[in-house]
Amino acid sequence: MLPTPAFLVDLDIVDHNTELMASRMCNKGIAWRIPCKGHRCASLAKYILEKGACGVVLLTLAEAEAFADEGINDIYLANQLYSQTDLERLAVLAKRLKRLRVAIDSMDYLRDLATAVERWEIITPIEILVELNVNHNRCGVTAEEAVELARTAKHIELTTGSIIFAGITGYEGHTPILPPQEKTLATKESHNILAKAKSAIEAEGIKVAVVSGGGSCNYIDCLETGVLTEIQAGGGALGDLLYCETANLKDHGHQVGALILAQMISVPKDKTRAIGNAGFKAIGWHPFGGLPAPRDRKDLRVVGLSAEHTRFEWAGADKGTLTDEINQSLIPPQRGEKMVLIPGYTDAMGFLHRTIYAIRKDHVEAVWKTMANKA
């Protein structure tokens, strides 16, 4: 008996989704790197890496250190650091990995990072990608500023060997929930910025080996622009309401594999509603993904989340709204009933759980610990 609420991952569906992603990217000669912020589970990351991904993307230094502890040795820390302590930890981390890559969007960070690495008698270089703002308006520089950063990075590489200029990156984080045609256009506009920067840097005689970007929500469009050498896509391997429904990956064959197991703990006598034991502290909530949905019961819908509770409405209270197919199998919700929910957005949920239960055919195959156990 599994405890509830529980974070489930359907391995048959992960296998299906990863086969789609790996084959599509490999056929285009594009590397596939998996972001893991949605689950923070090194064992799940290893499972997907075996399906064809080349490495992981992480967003915090603590995550990178925790994944290194579990034997993952190709890590891209796609974020900016600041403190001297963090830079020293980063330099130490590089010595434990086959590849450590970071994003850079300021001259100060570039030089401070190089200085931290150079403190060691035996230098282990860190790869850097110059991060561009590709209309997401978060981190990143302009194409013109990227040239200066690349020039300085290459100079440091040639003179001290503390860093390696690998290329450029940009995140199209403004595109996930756009309608398909708008998403395609916005992705092309973002990639045009990357292409302009690559051309300008290479005009300086500096090779841009890596152009990294994308995400699960727009990876199909990324395959068509011909700009990226590496796509960062992790959530599409699992699948939830955001990826499969809002971002339309179901139209490209993806299925839902990230799930929450909850249990009914309260059902009034008239059966008009039911209360589950998974609230936003277990399911998370994000405006992109919205409320979760029952996987197996079309007669129940989630109408709200509070800290520890899911609020369901039962359609049996208004049978006139149901199809004959649902009417024929209508069963009122029962106290104690287990309920499998599809989360709105796994990235808003994974950090809440210490354990992931890997299932096949609704039977547990493996139990994996997440990074939450290191907190």
pLDDT at 46: 98
For the segment 198-224, what is each residue's pLDDT rounded down to a tens digit? 999 999 999 999 999 999 999 999 999
pLDDT at 25: 96
Give the residue ranges of the chain where pLDDT is below 50: 322, 324-326, 328
pTM value > 0.75: yes
pLDDT at 50: 96
pLDDT at 322: 45
User: From CA 70, how far away is CA 57, in angstroms rounded?
Assistant: 15
Q: Which 3-state string (H, E, C) describes 193-258?
A: HHHHHHHHHHCCCCCCCEEEECCHHHHHHHHHHCCCCEEECCHHHHCCHHHHHHCCHHHHCCCCCE
pLDDT at 329: 56
For the segment 28-47, what is each residue's pLDDT rounded down to a tens digit? 899 999 999 999 999 999 99
Burial status of residue 19 (CB atoms within 10 A of its CB: 0-12, 13-18, 19 or more): middle
**Residue 169 corresponds to which tokens in the numbers above?**
């990156």
**Residue 11 corresponds to which tokens in the numbers above?**
């391995």
pLDDT at 328: 46
Longest dimension (CA), the chain: 77
Q: Confirm if 42 and 291 have CB atoms less than 8 A apart.
A: no
User: From CA 159, how far away is CA 299, in angstroms rounded?
Assistant: 67
Q: Where are the alpha helices (DSSP H) in 313-364?
A: 324-328
For residue 287, the tally of other CB atoms under 10 A from its CB is 9
Q: Confirm if 11 and 208 have CB atoms less than 8 A apart.
A: no
In single-letter form, the type of residue at position 284 comes to: G
Burial status of residue 256 (CB atoms within 10 A of its CB: 0-12, 13-18, 19 or more): buried
Q: Confirm if 350 and 369 have CB atoms less than 8 A apart.
A: no
